[in-house]
A and B are shown apart, each in its own frame.
Chain A
Amino acid sequence: MNKKQRRLAQTTLPQSLGELELTVMNHVWENGETDAKYLAGKIQEERLCSLSTVQTTLERLVKKNLLQRHKQGYAYHYSALASRGEFMGRMMKDVVSLLHDGKSSTILSSFVNVAATLEDAALDELEQLIRDKRRQKTRVDKV
């Protein structure tokens, strides 16, 4: 993989990928370098999908610089240009951005609000408060 390919792979946005493209990427990451027939077999265990559909999807992913291919015999073999970690990291950053800007707050909500920082002093104070409550509860339970 050359520098240009790597740079392009890093700039492809996760949200620009469809469900099948992500499924194909998943299988490529899991199986390493592989061909379309093997991938189609794996994907068909999960969903209805023809070999030609998988081949078309692979070609699209090559154009999006997420996969590279080389010919081995009569078939093309495909491998990932971006690692799963890098790609998933970008996807999660997108989710964090959505949580952060609040525009998608009606479809996406987090356990804790992803918006601003809580100072260490405030965290320590809360921790102390919880510890005091626990001690109080233990004393009451003993009584």
Chain B
Amino acid sequence: MTALFDSIGSLLTLWLLGWLFLSLPILLCYPLIRPILLARHPALGSKLLLALLSAPFLVSLLASVMLFIPLVENTMVSAHCHSNCGPHSPLSNSPWLIWPGACAGALVLAGICRRLLRNLKSSRQLMRQLSAVSIDRGNWQLIPECHCLVFALGWWSPRIFITEGLMKRCRPGDIEIILAHEQAHARRKDNIRLLLGKLFLLPIPNRFTAPLMNDLTLLTESACDFSAARAYSPLDIAETLLHVQKLVPAGHPQQGRLAFTGSEVELRIRALLNPTMPERHYPGLTSLLSLGLLLLLTLAMLDPMHHGFEWLVHKLSN
């Protein structure tokens, strides 16, 4: 039982330390990486950014688990001896390491589950309420209300809701463009992508991760603008964005005004009007390459993680 607890505690500690340690260079180097991401097609840029955000979490988790598999220990970790010279996992029996690691790991896992369940519950409750008061129009719902709002709700199969107020004030063609944009979100499962992005950055305080999440949101929105641009002219989409922006006069957001981060709408419109990035990207190839890179990084991290953890245990023991 003690040996099992030591193993679980060591694994969790190793995972959390790896997750934090690998997140730091990404946060520090992000200002240099950002222009490269924003210069790509937004669909590619959002995928690459999500892969970047997932790397610390996935690499540290995979590597930590692999280090406790004997076959991996034999092949991927450089031979070294402690009291005996057999293959071994980076175990610690130091309570100063095991207990905090186990507790922190449990808290993080509980935090992830809590966030997922809370979001799921809110989503279902709001969906039930809005579905009860709205009119089904096939692939979207009409809310009989005078505020100007259009939004997508839900994770796996998001529903699109448009208020009557917005319908009345839209020009011919605006609603079709808005629906094409929102349907792109539903196809791409963007709400799940954003959720994953937030989960991968969970241990880092919000003020450091906000720029990355803002960029992920921007690239996601821009990707859906470009998706809508397959059926509609980019100029028409840009005009719709601007028109929806202007629909309600200045007022407090609580009164139903559609208010915007100036930079996001502006960047989206400029991207539509001046697409400098290549039009095509290869989603299958990008995913394969990202997975391949993640695997390579995981394998590369095995030896340093093993030795790094043993060094830490040794330091704490002394």
Binding site for B on A (CB under 8 A): 14-15, 17-20, 22-23, 25-26, 84-85, 88-89, 91-93, 95-100, 104-119, 122-123, 126-127, 129-130, 133-134, 137
Q: Is the interface of A mostly helix, strand, loop or mixed?
A: helix
Question: Within the complex, what minimum Cβ distance (angstroms) separates A117 from chain B?
Answer: 5
Distance between Cα atoms of A18 and B129 in the complex (Å): 7
- Cβ of B145 and Cβ of A91 under 8 Å apart? yes
Residues of B within 8 Å of A100, CB to CB, are: 253-254, 259
- Cβ of A19 and Cβ of B128 under 8 Å apart? yes
- Cβ of A106 and Cβ of B119 under 8 Å apart? yes
Name the residue on B nearest A115 (C-beta).
Answer: B261
Residues of B within 8 Å of A92, CB to CB, are: 143, 145, 147, 149, 163, 256
Distance between Cα atoms of A134 and B237 in the complex (Å): 12
Task: List 10 tightest A-B contacts by C-beta distance, closest first.
Answer: A22-B132, A106-B195, A88-B145, A107-B123, A118-B262, A19-B128, A110-B151, A92-B147, A111-B150, A116-B261
Question: Within the complex, what minimum Cβ distance (angstroms) separates B297 from chain A?
Answer: 26
Q: Which one of A106, A108, A123 contacts B242 once the chains associate, using CB atoms below 8 Å? A: A123
Q: Which one of A26, A85, A96, A134 contacts B256 once the chains associate, using CB atoms below 8 Å? A: A96
Can you report 19 residue pairs joining A to B where beta carbons are below 8 Å apart?
A20-B132, A26-B132, A93-B147, A93-B256, A96-B147, A104-B122, A106-B119, A106-B155, A107-B126, A107-B191, A109-B185, A109-B194, A111-B150, A112-B244, A112-B245, A112-B260, A123-B242, A130-B239, A137-B235
Residues of A within 8 Å of B153, CB to CB, are: 107-108
How many chain B residues touch A (CB < 8 A): the figure is 62
Question: Within the complex, what minimum Cβ distance (angstroms) separates A128 from chain B?
Answer: 11
- Cβ of A85 and Cβ of B145 under 8 Å apart? yes
B255 beta carbon closer than 8 Å to chain A? yes
B306 beta carbon closer than 8 Å to chain A? no
Given A110-B150, A111-B150, A112-B258; 10 other pairs, CB 8 A cutoff:
A89-B256, A106-B198, A110-B258, A111-B178, A111-B244, A112-B245, A112-B264, A114-B260, A116-B260, A130-B273
B300 beta carbon closer than 8 Å to chain A? no
In the complex where A97-B254, A123-B245 touch, is A113 in contact with B217 (Cβ < 8 A)? Answer: yes
Distance between Cα atoms of A137 and B235 in the complex (Å): 9
Residues of B within 8 Å of A23, CB to CB, are: 132
- Cβ of B260 and Cβ of A115 under 8 Å apart? yes
B152 beta carbon closer than 8 Å to chain A? yes
B133 beta carbon closer than 8 Å to chain A? yes
Distance between Cα atoms of A129 and B260 in the complex (Å): 19
Question: Within the complex, what minimum Cβ distance (angstroms) separates B229 from chain A?
Answer: 13
B70 beta carbon closer than 8 Å to chain A? no
Distance between Cα atoms of A130 and B275 in the complex (Å): 14
* Residue among B122, B244, B257 facing the most chain A CB atoms (10 A cut-off): B122
Question: Within the complex, what minimum Cβ distance (angstroms) separates A96 from chain B?
Answer: 6
- 1/0 per residue, CB under 8 A from A, across B154-190: the answer is 1100100001000000000000001001100100001
Name the residue on A nearest B243 (C-beta).
Answer: A127
B131 beta carbon closer than 8 Å to chain A? yes
In the complex where A22-B133, A89-B145, A111-B150 touch, is A116 in contact with B195 (Cβ < 8 A)? Answer: no
B48 beta carbon closer than 8 Å to chain A? no
Residues of A within 8 Å of B239, CB to CB, are: 130
Distance between Cα atoms of A59 and B145 in the complex (Å): 26
- 1/0 per residue, CB under 8 A from A, across B229-242: the answer is 00000010011011
Name the residue on B nearest A18 (C-beta).
Answer: B128
- Cβ of A84 and Cβ of B149 under 8 Å apart? no
- Cβ of A118 and Cβ of B144 under 8 Å apart? no
Residues of B within 8 Å of A118, CB to CB, are: 245, 259-262, 265-266
In the complex where A19-B131, A26-B132 touch, is A108 in contact with B262 (Cβ < 8 A)? Answer: no
B94 beta carbon closer than 8 Å to chain A? no
- Cβ of B152 and Cβ of A91 under 8 Å apart? no
Residues of A within 8 Å of B246, CB to CB, are: 123
- Cβ of A99 and Cβ of B235 under 8 Å apart? no
Question: Within the complex, what minimum Cβ distance (angstroms) separates B276 from chain A?
Answer: 14
